[in-house]
Each structure stands twice: as C-alpha cells, then as structure tokens.
Structure 1
Amino acid sequence: MVHLDISETSQVLSVIGGYICIVGLVSFFLKEKMFMSEPLVALLIGVAFGPIGADIFNPFRWVGYDQHQLESLSFQVSRIVIAIQVLFTGISLPKAYCWRHRLSLFVLLIPVMTCAWFVSALLVWAFIPNLTFLEALVVGSCVTPTDPVLANSICKEKYVPLEVRNIILAEAGANDGLGFPFLNPVSSLGEAIGQWFYNVLLYQILLSVLIGAVIGYIARRCLKYCEGRNLIDRESFLAFGVALTFFTVGWVGIIGSDDILCCFVVGNSLTWDDWFRIRSEEDSFQEVIDMLLNSAVFLYIGAVIPWNEFGNYWDITPWRLVLLGITVMLARRLPWVLLAMKFIPPISSSWKDALFTGYFGPIGVGAVFYIEVAHHAIPDDGTRERLRAVVAPVVYFMVLTSVIVHGITIPIGKSMQHTLTLTRSKSGAQFISRLPPPVPFGGALPTHDTNATSEPKEASARDVGVHDDATAPNSGTGTPAAFSRTNTLSMSRTNTMTQGVHWGENTVGHSVQSSGRTSPSNNDSTSHSSNPNLVQPSTHAMVQ
C-alpha cells in the first residue's frame, strides 16, 4: 500500500515552490500587463491556500494553535526578512549616500515621521472605539515606518526616477530601525522620558549605529584584502552580504540593541566607497534573494491575517477599518512631505516627485514585526487587555490595505505617465527613414537583377538609413562614385546603433537610440569589438 506523507513540511514546500515556479513563468505578464506587484500576488495566494481557503498553508497548525507561539514565529520571520532587506537596501545606495543626503533624511525621519505617527494615532483613536490616546499612539507607531520590503519591491527604476527611489529606500531602511522609540509611550510619562534617553537614544540607536559602522568598515577592508589576493571566490563574495546580516542580527540581538538599524548601517558602511556595490551588481544574486524573501513572507502574511477579528470583535466593524485604511493612506504622510519638500533636495524641484514620495509610504512586513514588538512592550498584567487584542487586527488590516493600494496604483499610475510621455515624445520626434524613396507616378519600379552574383552587395547610404545630406554628390544616377561604409550594430541592453559613412577622407557618423528599455548601470553595455554575436560587415568593400 502506498504511504502518503501529508506532513505540514511537505504541504508548505509544495505551496511555496509551486507558487514561485508557476507565478515565475508569467511574472513579466503580471507586472507589465496586469500591473500586479510580487507582494500582492503572494499575499493573495497566501489567502487562497491559507486557513480561510484551501487550508494547505496554515501557520496556526504549525504551532498547535498556540497564539503565543504564533506571535513568536511571526516576530522571528519578519525580523530576519527585514534585516536582510535593509542591509541590501544599504548596499544598493550610491557612495556615501546617507551622509550626502543627511538633511533630506533628517527631515523625513524626524519631523515627517513624527507627524505621521501622531496623525496615525489620531485616526486610530477616532475610528477604533474605547481606546485611550496613549494606546492609540502604540497602534499608530506600528504603521508609521515605511516598509523596506514593499518599498524595494514596488519602487523600481522603471517606475520611479533614480533620485526619488534612492531617497525612499534610504528612508525606509533607516526608519524601520528608528520605529522603536515610538513604542515607549505605553509607560508613564516620566518613565518614558528616562527610558527614551538612556535606553532608546543611547543604547539602541547610537550604539547600533556605532556597531554597524565598525562591522561594515572591517568587512569592507577584509573583502578588499582577500579579493585583491585571490583568497575569496565569486560565490562566497556574493553570499557575504547575507552572512553578514545573520552575524549582525545575532550579535546585536544578544546585547539587546537595535539589530534592524544596525543592519542598515552595516550595508551603508560596507559600500561607503561604492566598491562593493559596483562589484556585486554585476550579478543578480541580491535580486533573486529579494524575490524569494518577498514570496515566502507575503505568503505567510496572507495566511496569518486574522479574518475572524475583522467583524464585530471588540467593536472593530468593517466600515471602521475601511475608513481608517483610506484616511491613513491619504493623511498619514502625504501632507507633511509636501510641506517639507523644499528641505528635501531630491524632490524639491518637482511636485510630481513630492506627491509620489508622500503617497508612497507602504505598510508591510515592518508593521507585522512591530505588532510583536508591541505585544512584548504592552504590560501583561491585565490593564491593557483591549490594546493587546486590538493592535493585531487593526495593523494587519492596514497591511492588507497598503499591499493592495500601493501594489496596484503605483505601477498603473507610473505606466500611464510613461505612456503619455512616450506618446508626446513620438509625436514630435524626427525619425531617420529606413524606407526607399517614393517612386514618382508613372515611373518604373526597381527590378531585381537575376544575373547578379551571389556575393553580398555593400549597402548604400540610403539602405543604412542615412539622409540625403550624408551622401556624396552623385554622377547623375543617384549613386555615389565610390564610398566605403562601416555599420556597427551593438546588441547591448540599450539597443544603440551606430552607423558611419566614409567618403574619401571625410566621415559622417550617425547614432540612433532605440526606444528599448535602458539599463540602470553603464556596465551593462556590451562592446562590439568583443562580442562574437555582433553583425560587423566588412569595411573594405567598395562600390564602384
């Protein structure tokens, strides 16, 4: 008799592996045609295969339906994912980016983030009944930081200008580690002030920044030394960032400092001189890790969303949650970024960039992480039972709202803007003609000479798309007396075609940039002299 091993491990692996394989086959179609981001698709699949769906991917069964064990599992999963993501975010930023844009980051992390915290708390206090404002501040602190996982997944170069993308990622990486100070109002005012100074400001923030800078500096020097003496292979070089994340999270977590902020500083320090970033961006290792992490963590979030608590439980009715989600998306961040845009140089010159930066403040894995941090911070003496029961369903609904809203509106809005811009550009562009000149009415059509030799004939200037002003004076037949032509076709990602027409001692060159997708790095272009697949016609052929 065949024995079936229908264990939880087998079911989890089948769902995760099947999702990555099947969705990966149509990933380009989902992103470019359906305008669906990876986190949105993964979250929907997690809901479909979770407890309220097929019940195959059920994290509640993994822990024996123990709520405390589930909270601990969610905390550790989100902690590892965020740590890897913020370190990768730090690596992806240009040379000394956080120092050069310290004013912009200060404005986004201190006044803007503080205003977003208070606005979120006010909205929670208004829509969720029977909460004190102090308790609403705790709930608001969970949704205040910009999520680095969603930001890095949705905010790509093809949708967002590079400067705007960098400032959003830098803020997302830093503010996810700076979210801890906002959780302290659960204590009395005097105790909170004391803890904020010596425990939060000194021990968690300043100490983690110092440790991260030292770890990143030592790691960079060791990598340069070993790479320069051929002591490290390529695979270990690429995996170094992930290993450094585990090392940092482990040791900083042992001493009780802010391991998330420390990982972001490690990434910045590691690529402070751009050496590691340039060397590692030649491969797509970090992008692959990012995709795998996004798939796994949002499948998990989709499966653990507390749907049964979105009803009348603790008076959290659906209409309250919907109104809370809409108002938080609009008022939590957007007005304050617009007011402070003049002090943020990357967006100060464009209202569109400021609107996008203010609107794009996703709530995702970081909020799930702070749910569990809040559970640890809330006193377990029965005085804050309502707060402990309310924080998870409210924040999870905010995560669901943000993944859907930001995962759909950002790609659609930016693609529409790109389409309109491309249409305007094409309407006013002057293209080089690659068609033969029109034949006058009644004139003879060109005929094909069947007696011609089988040797390839050198293309004329008209054939390679050169206008009449680039051709030599003809002898009355419309054909130059003698010329040689060099045509070099580059198969690079930028699809750039360079054509030169040589006539005697003079050379006329023409460069045509195609409308294909551009690469974010100049290192992606391919030299025609070293690529055996390039089409390089002979430059010695002469047409008499």
Structure 2
Amino acid sequence: MEHLHWSPEFILLAVLGCIFIYSLLTNAIAKTILTLPIIFMVVGYLCARPIETLAEPEVMNDGKRLLAEITLVLVLFSDASRVRFKALRQNFQIPLRMLVIGMPLTIVLGMIVAYGFNPESGLAMALLTAALLTPTDAALGQTVVTSADVPERLRQTINVESGLNDGLVLPFVLFGAILASAGMEGANTDGLATSALVQIIVGPLVGILFGWTFAKAMDSAQDQNLMAEAAGGVAFLAVAFSAYIGAEFVGGNGFIAAFVAGMVFGNSYKHKIHFIGEFMEGIGQLLTMFAFLVFGALLLPDGLEHMTWNVLLLAIIFLTVVRMLPIWVSLLGTGLTSREKLFLGWFGPRGLASILFTLIILDEFDFPGEEELLACVSMTVFLSIILHGISAAPLSKWIGRDAK
C-alpha cells in the first residue's frame, strides 16, 4: 500500500485527475477568486515530497530544464506574435511608454533596492534579481484582460506590455547572470563579454530570418490551397523551435530568437493567425499548469526554507514600489487618471516568465547566494499569484465604475 501511495503512476494519476477536474469546473472557477496558477501551485506544493521521490535529482533537474525551455519558447513566440503593430498605431503611446521608460526604470530601481537589502551579494546579483522580477504575466490576473468592466485601452495595454516585456528583459537577465557568475571564485571569464554580445546580436537576426521566411512560405502555401487549416498549430511549433535551435546552432540566444521570430511572423503573415491562440489555449495551457505545478513542488519549498523577513519585505517592495512607481513616472503626461495609473502599475503580476527564467538560469550558471535569489523570486511569485489572483475581479469592477 505504501508503494502504491508513493509510486510515480499514483502521483501522475492524481495530477491528471486535478487537471481533469479543473477542466470540468473552469466556468465555475472563473466566478471565484481561484485561478489556474493558484490551484496548480497548491497542487504542486502538496505533492512536493512524493514528486521529489520520482527520480534522482539529476533527472529531475533535466526534466525541469526541458519543461522550462519548451514552455518559454512557446510563450515568448506566441506572446510576441499576437502584438500587431498596425493595431497599435491608434493606442501605442501607453504600452510604449511602459516598455521604453517604465521597464528600464523598474530594473534600475529594483537593482538599487535589491543591492540595498543585500550589498554583500554585489551589483551583478542585484541586477539579476531585478531582471528576473521585471517581466509580467497577464495570466495571473486573467479576469482583468477579459473583463468587460475594464476599458479596452487598459486591457490592450496590459496584454501588449506582458506580451513584450518578457522578451525585452531577456538581455538584462543574460547579462546579470553572466556578470554574477563571473564573480564566482575561480570562474573562467575569458570571452564571456564577447559570447554575450554574440548571443544578443545573432539571436534577433536568426529570429527575423526564420520568422519572415516561414510566414511567407505559409502564405504561399495557403494562397495555392496546399495547406490544411488544421496544420497551423504544427507549423507554429516548427517555426518557434526552428528559430530557437537555429540561433543556438550559430551561437545566438535561442529565446531571444524565438521572441523576435514570433514578432516578425505575426506581423508578416497575411492570413488569419488564430491557430497560435487556439494551440496555446490547449497544449500551452497544459504546459502552464505543469510549470506552476513544478514551481509549487520544487521551487517554492526551497524558497520558503530560505525565506527571511528581509526576503518577504523585498518581495512586497518589488510588487508595489519597484513596479508601481516607475509605471506612474512613465505614464506622466498621457492623460490617464491617477486611478488608471495605479491600476496599470498594480497589474504587473510576476509569474510564468520569472519562474522559467529562474529555472533555466539556476541550471545554467553558478552564483554566489543562489539560495537568497531563489527565495526572493519564489516569495515574490508566490505573493503575486495570491494577491493578483484574488484582486483581479474586484479591481476590475472598481476601474469599471471609474470609466462609467
């Protein structure tokens, strides 16, 4: 009986059962304060001990890394592909200000705060911490971007910002990780700067090449009625992972390539692109479930173990002052009300991108003070999942009343 309780089959059946029950109750859950991230984070945390027994630590690390890479490539490509430059022309000022002014200010302020709390870790670790906690995840406040109470321009702004800032922050994450790793005693720093520059320059070039080439090839196939509509999801996978693998093959950063490829593909492909959204609502949502489950099972317990009052305070400051003050500054002169600025500042949830970046960076590099970094990211994402999840519905109604 004990063997059955802890067997991989039993654990997998339990997780699949949770996924099935969630699927059955999606409409009912949507009317509550519960969200997908909250549910699967809790499921993962409750399954933490048995999940750790499923395989050796090395195998578990490889599995985490693979899940993180697959999910991040799809998220970066799909988010970027949904941003239409033509549609943004009428309402580009607000998201552009948040990305061009707000995002760099968030990183700088976050680095200052992180360094102030833990100066012995150095500026590089402070930069890495700030960069990991800068990208936002609209899925944590899904009610906000789907609610009819929220004005269209605010919903569009949140979607555009969360769709683009995870890809735009990647170079900062990469530089922070390289600098922090180079600070380790005995680290080989030969060629690190050159390698980083090559990754950041070559990655976008490969993304442009693959995104445009695949878009035009698919357009041609559809114009000649050679391509079945149902094949769009398969083609999406091929484009996203070809850009990633192609960039890695020639020394570029695959994640940056996937992000740029998505942006170029979405704005070059002349036919309907609904297949990407449909795919991400299915397989993409399943990957998201597993990503939050992994967070609850493998990252959150370690983060809680190393949590201190300093870490908790730092997480709260990152979710409030570090996010909201730069966004407020970036929106000065836009004509938005104070209530709208606060709303956009608050709904910068930290979620999937921060989790995936952290999983990959911790596996790729060695840092001083990894435990503190993990605790800070875990606690910030944990609080964000809870606070943004439960505040989405009431604040949507609050901003809706203001609009009326």
Which range, TM-score by smaller chain?
A: 0.7 to 0.9
> Which structure's residues are more often helix, by fraction?
2
Tell me if structure 2 keeps the 8 A contact 1:35–1:411.
yes
Alignment match of 2:279 (pick from 269, 281, 285): 285
Alignment match of 2:39 (pick from 38, 41, 55): 41
The 1:101/1:402 distance shift into structure 2, 3 A limit, reads same
SS at match of 2:136: coil
Tell me if structure 1 keeps the 8 A contact 2:328–2:341.
yes
SS at match of 1:74: helix
**Aligned twin of 2:53:** 61
* In 2: Cα distance, 1:365 partner to 1:8 partner: 28
**Aligned twin of 2:106:** 116
The 1:391/1:125 distance shift into structure 2, 3 A limit, reads same
- The total of aligned residue pairs comes to 393
Residue 296, structure 1, aligned to residue 290, structure 2: yes
Residue 249, structure 1, aligned to residue 238, structure 2: no
Alignment match of 1:405 (pick from 382, 387, 393): 387
* In 1: Cα distance, 2:243 partner to 2:118 partner: 38
Tell me if structure 2 keeps the 8 A contact 1:348–1:354.
no
Tell me if structure 2 keeps the 8 A contact 1:138–1:182.
yes
* In 2: Cα distance, 1:291 partner to 1:304 partner: 20
* In 1: Cα distance, 2:100 partner to 2:55 partner: 39
**Aligned twin of 2:70:** 80
Deviations 1:259-309 (Å, cap 9, x if unpaired)? Answer: 222212212222215634x35269833322332222121112111134255
Q: Which amino acid in structure 2 is aligned with residue 158 of structure 1? A: S
Deviation at 1:107, TM superposition (A): 4.5
Q: Which amino acid in structure 2 is aligned with residue 295 of structure 1? A: M
SS at match of 2:134: coil
Deviation at 1:10, TM superposition (A): 2.3
The 1:375/1:42 distance shift into structure 2, 3 A limit, reads closer
Q: Which amino acid in structure 1 is aligned with residue 41 of structure 2? A: L
SS at match of 2:145: coil
**Aligned twin of 2:345:** 358
SS at match of 1:36: coil
* In 2: Cα distance, 1:199 partner to 1:76 partner: 23
Which structure 1 segments of 5+ residues have no match? 425-544
* In 2: Cα distance, 1:120 partner to 1:282 partner: 34
Deviation at 1:236, TM superposition (A): 1.0
SS at match of 1:310: helix
The 1:234/1:15 distance shift into structure 2, 3 A limit, reads farther
Deviation at 1:207, TM superposition (A): 2.0
Tell me if structure 1 keeps the 8 A contact 2:128–2:177.
yes
Deviations 1:450-481 (Å, cap 9, x if unpaired)? Answer: xxxxxxxxxxxxxxxxxxxxxxxxxxxxxxxx
Which structure 2 segments of 5+ residues have no match? none
**Aligned twin of 2:158:** 165
Q: Which amino acid in structure 1 is aligned with residue 264 of structure 2? A: S
Deviation at 1:413, TM superposition (A): 1.0
Deviations 1:359-408 (Å, cap 9, x if unpaired)? Answer: 222222322333345436655xxxx54x1332222221222112112222
The 1:116/1:210 distance shift into structure 2, 3 A limit, reads same
Residue 371, structure 1, aligned to residue 358, structure 2: yes
RMSD after superposition: 3.5
* In 2: Cα distance, 1:121 partner to 1:175 partner: 17
Deviation at 1:111, TM superposition (A): 4.2
**Aligned twin of 1:228:** 223
Using the size of structure 1 for normalisation, the TM-score is 0.63
Tell me if structure 1 keeps the 8 A contact 2:145–2:159.
no
**Aligned twin of 1:392:** 374
Q: Which amino acid in structure 2 is aligned with residue 270 of structure 1? A: F
The 1:245/1:128 distance shift into structure 2, 3 A limit, reads same
**Aligned twin of 2:170:** 177
The 1:351/1:281 distance shift into structure 2, 3 A limit, reads farther
* In 2: Cα distance, 1:158 partner to 1:275 partner: 29
SS at match of 2:287: helix
**Aligned twin of 1:528:** none
The 1:351/1:287 distance shift into structure 2, 3 A limit, reads farther
Deviations 1:183-227 (Å, cap 9, x if unpaired)? Answer: 343247xx99x955x4434x2233222211221111111111111
Tell me if structure 2 keeps the 8 A contact 1:142–1:367.
yes
Using the size of structure 2 for normalisation, the TM-score is 0.83
The 1:86/1:335 distance shift into structure 2, 3 A limit, reads same
Matches within 5 A, 1:141-540: 141-147=131-137, 150=140, 153=142, 156-158=145-147, 160=150, 161=152, 162-178=155-171, 179-186=173-180, 187=182, 198-201=194-197, 203-273=198-268, 275-276=270-271, 278-280=272-274, 284-307=278-301, 310-311=304-305, 313=306, 316-317=307-308, 319-342=309-332, 349-375=336-362, 378-379=365-366, 385=368, 387-418=369-400, 420=401
> Which structure's residues are more often strand, by fraction?
1
Residue 10, structure 1, aligned to residue 9, structure 2: yes
Tell me if structure 2 keeps the 8 A contact 1:226–1:232.
yes
Higher relative contact order (CA 8 A, sep 6+): 2
* In 1: Cα distance, 2:250 partner to 2:4 partner: 42
Q: Which amino acid in structure 1 is aligned with residue 352 of structure 2? A: V
Q: Which amino acid in structure 2 is aligned with residue 286 of structure 1? A: M
Tell me if structure 2 keeps the 8 A contact 1:72–1:372.
no
* In 1: Cα distance, 2:299 partner to 2:179 partner: 26
The 1:94/1:126 distance shift into structure 2, 3 A limit, reads same
* In 2: Cα distance, 1:206 partner to 1:100 partner: 30
* In 2: Cα distance, 1:142 partner to 1:249 partner: 20
Which stretch shifts more, 239-248 or 130-139? 130-139
Tell me if structure 2 keeps the 8 A contact 1:146–1:172.
yes
Which stretch shifts more, 219-228 or 251-260? 251-260
Deviations 1:65-106 (Å, cap 9, x if unpaired)? Answer: x2x554443332122112101211122222456899887666
Tell me if structure 2 keeps the 8 A contact 1:82–1:148.
no
Deviation at 1:28, TM superposition (A): 1.5
